[in-house]
Amino acid sequence: MGRSSRVGTQTTWVTYQSVIGDRSSLFAAIRDAWSPSTALYLGSYVDLSPSTAIPAVTYVDSDRRAARFFDDRELVADQLRGRSDPGAVTEFLCMDYTAELPLAPGSFDLLISLYAGPVWDSGSRFLAPGGLLLANNSHGDASLAALDPRLSLEAAVKADGDRYRLDRAELDTYLIPKSPLHADPDRIRSQGRGIGFTKTAFAYVFRYVDSEAWTVVIGDD
């Protein structure tokens, strides 16, 4: 019997799937499109799905139940067995992601913000120039990203149960506010939720096209 079926009432990625489903196909689609090597997931709880597709993922959450799950390395390995590369690395920080995180600036290829946040304000500094932000709109990150000139939309994520796919066509039809007056970053932050868009998606993938950061990287060569 694997550890997955011997954990009693402990919250694990497998038990959490009864709430959120299995998002592995979302991260497989992102891997197939852009091959990110590293990801930072702020407000991850126990959602281990990125590790099925991305070689090195750092998870951050302040919830002790998440810490208990990730601290059990054998259990994490058991739930990923046969579903990730053998060399996949998972790290967990039990921290408030608005605090000073012990991570190198600009060191991640992908920043993940799903049903938490907004995390973009705290997490943008850790994203590499040209990196990707995966964000949904529940806590406002997709709305803030849509208004941030450092980001450009790469794809909308469509979901059908556990099946996810990227829509990279007609991107200018997404992220159009139903009420343009609501498209105000201060308002979105104070309300802690996204604004309504005329066309919806599960989430969005943005590219960090910060020209100043690119200049620094190119200048280092």
Among positive and negative, which fits the CA dihedral 57, 27, 54, 169? Answer: negative
Asked if 52 interacts with ligand SAM (CB under 6 A), we say: no
Single residue of 44, 79, 84, 90 touching ligand SAM by CB under 6 A:
44
Interface mask (CB under 6 A) for ligand SAM, residues 9-38, using x and -?
-----------x------------------
Interface mask (CB under 6 A) for ligand SAM, residues 133-172, using x and -?
----------------------------------------
Binding-site size for ligand SAM (CB under 6 A) equals 16
Closer CB to ligand SAM, residue 92 or residue 206? 92
Residues 58-117 that bind ligand SAM (CB under 6 A): 60-63, 66, 96-98, 114-116
Distance (Å, whole) CA 74 – CA 45: 18
Closer CB to ligand SAM, residue 43 or residue 131? 43
CB of 123 to ligand SAM, least distance (A): 11
Inter-residue contact 59 to 91 (CB < 8 Å): yes
Closer CB to ligand SAM, residue 45 or residue 213? 45
Closer CB to ligand SAM, residue 133 or residue 183? 133
Closer CB to ligand SAM, residue 62 or residue 191? 62
**Beta strand ranges found along 82-202 (DSSP E):** 89-93, 108-113, 127-135, 151-160, 163-167
Inter-residue contact 84 to 13 (CB < 8 Å): no
Pairing type for strands 108-113 and 89-93 reads: unpaired
CB of 187 to ligand SAM, least distance (A): 20
Closer CB to ligand SAM, residue 114 or residue 144? 114
Angle between helices 73-80 and 64-71 (to 10 degrees): 80
Residues in CB range of 206: below 8 A, 6 or more apart: 132, 133, 135, 145, 151, 152, 153, 154
Distance (Å, whole) CA 78 – CA 196: 40
Cα within 13 Å of Cα(2), Cβ side? 12
* Binding footprint of ligand SAM on the chain (CB under 6 A): 20, 43-45, 47, 60-63, 66, 96-98, 114-116
